[in-house]
Amino acid sequence: MKKNILLLLAVVLLAMTSCEDPQYVAPTANRQGLTSLTAIFTSGPFVDQTMAKLDITDPIPDRLVIPVPYYYPISSDDETAQYMTNVRVQAALAANCFISPALTVLDLTKENEFTFTDAQGVSKKIIITGERVKSNACELLTFTVTSHELAGIVDKATKSVALATTEDLSDVTVECEVSPHATISPDPASVHNLNDPVKFTVTAHDGTTAEYTVAKVVYEKIEQGFNKESVELLFNFDPVASLGMPAFDVEVGPTIAALHGKVVLCAGDGSTPIYINAMTGAKQGEIALGSAVPGAVTNDEGEHLLICNHAGSSETMNIYWTSSVKDTPKLLTSFTNTCDLALGSKIKCIGDVTKDALITITHEGVAGVTTSSKFTAIEIKNGVVGTPQIIDLSASGYGWGSAPVNFTTVVPRTKTLSDGVFLSYYEPSEFSHVAGDWATVTGRFPSDTSGWGLNPNCLDSKAFNNQNYVALFVVSHFPAWGMGPQLYLYNVSNMDKFTGSDITDVACLELANPYVDWFQVGSFAIASGDVVIAPSADGYKLFIYYYDHNSQAFGGYVADCIKR
């Protein structure tokens, strides 16, 4: 990895103790013999996933209490009491240290006695137990002036909310999102005068408090791009167990979109897409569909949701749009698919559909029959939707297979179609740019860093703070074999920097996580997924969300461009 990779999340490997005999494991620390205890579900939807972890400092205490969250997931109302009596506990031990009897399934409501022996042969009695703890999280996540459709800019470091406006806010109501199970006062639904600074207090489930000051302030932005130090992981969890999305062995091609504090998840199987809290991942409901048929979803740069159907040759493609997950979508455009190949499993948009934008929809190959090298492009100028154009990339040498696994996601570099497109897919597994002559290829960076087991076919592109970005999300064919998903974000404003040896080494790479945690490790099936970039309409925040269907991993990041 080069130094320009500014975000790297390491995989945490948990050392496991035997259920039969004391086991010697590789050291996890230089000074102490026992560094952590991990509690793992043995039943329910999260079986084999981590429930809680206790990090242990030196010296090792006689009584070790694993802090189990009161609810799991933390954003849900599902209490953990039912799981406390049957918890698998694993210890991270240094070399030649052991616990006897061996750790197995414990009742964490009881005091479980063990003997810990360090590498020098010194033994001591320890007790391992658990305690359900209420969350101390008391963050204000979002703050919106509903009457003005104005989203406040929340700064967790300074405990402040900036309202970037000069409008009269003397008689308004607001909506807020706070940490799960926290409360806020005064009541946001009451009428407030926000022309002057107002303080709101967020109280955590355990009573911890934090005070936020809301004021009319217009932040200055950095010159371009986003603050690398502001990048934050919002969440990363199993969407099947937490949200009820289709399991990894169901043949679907999920797509995602984000707008106004919501993330929309579309399974691609005809079911109504759901929406979740964009900051916490908590499920909130189903979107309004009206006449729209959900083959795929995406978002533009103006916080609008786009929904399209799947259309075969000579069938009608309808694209709907809306500004809210609760409002009935309106028809943006409708046309006949004159190509002999279907489209609609993926739709992407750069720009704002109410102003200037470029929509791309990838045509799919037919398994065992033919490949595809085509996509449909729709340009929007001053809010007027242009005539769809079918673009053929066969002169570039690229051709892909059927959806959802074997095809690609064609995304534009800018709102100008002649600036070319990016694509990447399994075999030949190259992340490349095809110029606007639809033949000249730039890049050809190997995009399957395993050499054979990953599927790098999820892309999206957006502009943010005077820069153009492309996100590449690599899903896994074989999560059960230790191959997990990967996320990369490239600044493609200057194509002179689109150079390197592979996707981890491109000069314009600005954010990377080659070790995204995943939750399906039992087998492997449908390697499909999606990634989306979602700038906030006010231009201050940049969100990235990703979904790996086979690995059952769904997560998101946020960054900002506020000058500090």
**What SS3 string covers 342-366?**
CEEEEEEEEECCCCCEEEEEEECCE
**d(Cα 253, Cα 403) in Å, to the nearest integer?**
8
Q: What sign results for the dihedral spanned by CA atoms 233, 235, 240, 243?
A: negative
Domain limit, last residue, from 104, 133, 162 = 133
Check whether residue 125 and residue 71 sit in a common domain. Answer: yes
- Which spans in 152-304 are helix H? 239-243
Check whether residue 460 and residue 520 sit in a common domain. Answer: yes
Q: Is residue 484 part of a domain?
A: yes
Q: What is the 3-state secondary structure (H, E, C) of 59-70?
A: CCCCEEEEEEEC
Per-residue pLDDT band for 147 (boundaries 50, 70, 90) equals confident
Task: Identify the DSSP state of 312.
Answer: -
Q: What sign results for the dihedral spanned by CA atoms 124, 130, 136, 140?
A: positive
φ, ψ at 61 (rounded to 5°): -70, 160
Look at residues 330, 166, 303, 154 and name the one whose alpha carbon lies nearest to residue 232.
Answer: 154
Check whether residue 412 and residue 450 sit in a common domain. Answer: yes
Q: What is the mean pLDDT of residues 385-399?
A: 98
**d(Cα 352, Cα 300) in Å, to the nearest integer?**
6
Q: Is residue 4 part of a domain?
A: no
Q: What is the mean pLDDT of residues 519-539?
A: 95
Q: Is residue 256 part of a domain?
A: yes
Find the domain containing 60 and state its range: 34-133
What pLDDT does 462 receive?
Answer: 98
What pLDDT does 58 receive?
Answer: 82
φ, ψ at 226 (rounded to 5°): -125, 160
Structure tokens at 442: 């730039």
Task: Give the least confident one: 16-20, 81-85, 384-388.
Answer: 16-20
| Residue tagged 């916080």 (tokens) | 303
Find out whether 100 and 121 touch, Cβ atoms under 8 Å.
Answer: no
Cα atoms in the 13 Å half-sphere on the side-chain side of 387? 3
What pLDDT does 118 receive?
Answer: 94
* Mean per-residue pLDDT of the chain: 93
**Rounded to 5°, angle at Cα 424 from 340 and 310:** 35
Q: Is residue 29 part of a domain?
A: no
Whether the pLDDT of residue 229 is over 50: the answer is: yes
Q: Is residue 221 part of a domain?
A: no
Look at residues 448, 452, 442 and name the one whose alpha carbon lies nearest to residue 502.
Answer: 448
What pLDDT does 2 receive?
Answer: 35
What pLDDT does 31 receive?
Answer: 53
Check whether residue 521 and residue 429 sit in a common domain. Answer: yes
Q: Is residue 24 part of a domain?
A: no
Query: Exposed (0-12), middle (13-18) or buried (19+): which is 51, by Cβ within 10 Å?
Result: buried
Number of structural domains the chain divides into: 3
Whether the pLDDT of residue 509 is over 50: the answer is: yes
What pLDDT does 1 receive?
Answer: 36
Check whether residue 334 and residue 464 sit in a common domain. Answer: yes
Look at residues 546, 550, 548 and name the one whose alpha carbon lies nearest to residue 526.
Answer: 550
Please give the model's pTM, rounded to 2 decimal places.
Answer: 0.89
What pLDDT does 32 receive?
Answer: 77
Q: Is residue 121 part of a domain?
A: yes
What pLDDT does 341 receive?
Answer: 98
**What is the percentage of the chain residues whose pLDDT exceeds 70?**
95
Check whether residue 113 and residue 255 sit in a common domain. Answer: no
Domain limit, last residue, from 111, 133, 155 = 133
Find out whether 351 and 301 touch, Cβ atoms under 8 Å.
Answer: yes
What pLDDT does 15 receive?
Answer: 34
Check whether residue 278 and residue 302 sit in a common domain. Answer: yes
Q: Is residue 23 part of a domain?
A: no
Per-residue pLDDT band for 12 (boundaries 50, 70, 90) equals very low
Question: Which residues, in sequence order, are CB contacts of 272 under 8 Å at separation 6+?
Answer: 286, 287, 289, 294
Cα atoms in the 13 Å half-sphere on the side-chain side of 156? 14
170-199 burial: b if 16+ Cβ within 10 Å, else e? eebebebbbbbbbebeeebeeebebeeebe
Check whether residue 123 and residue 149 sit in a common domain. Answer: no
Structure tokens at 288: 């309004």
What pLDDT does 11 receive?
Answer: 33
Domain limit, last residue, from 216, 241, 267 = 216
Render pLDDT for 160-207 as a digit per residue (tens, 0 to 9).
999 998 899 999 999 999 999 999 999 999 999 999 999 999 999 999
Find out whether 393 and 371 touch, Cβ atoms under 8 Å.
Answer: no
**What is the percentage of the chain residues whose pLDDT exceeds 90?**
91
Look at residues 269, 347, 279 and name the one whose alpha carbon lies nearest to residue 308.
Answer: 347
Render pLDDT for 461-492 as a digit per residue (tens, 0 to 9).
999 999 999 999 999 999 999 999 999 999 99
Look at residues 270, 258, 260 and name the one whose alpha carbon lies nearest to residue 530.
Answer: 258
* CATH number, domain containing residue 544: 2.120.10.30
**d(Cα 549, Cα 240) in Å, to the nearest integer?**
9
| Residue tagged 């919106």 (tokens) | 144
Q: What is the mean pLDDT of residues 326-352?
A: 98
Cα 209 to Cα 134, 160, 530: the distances in Å are: 13, 14, 37
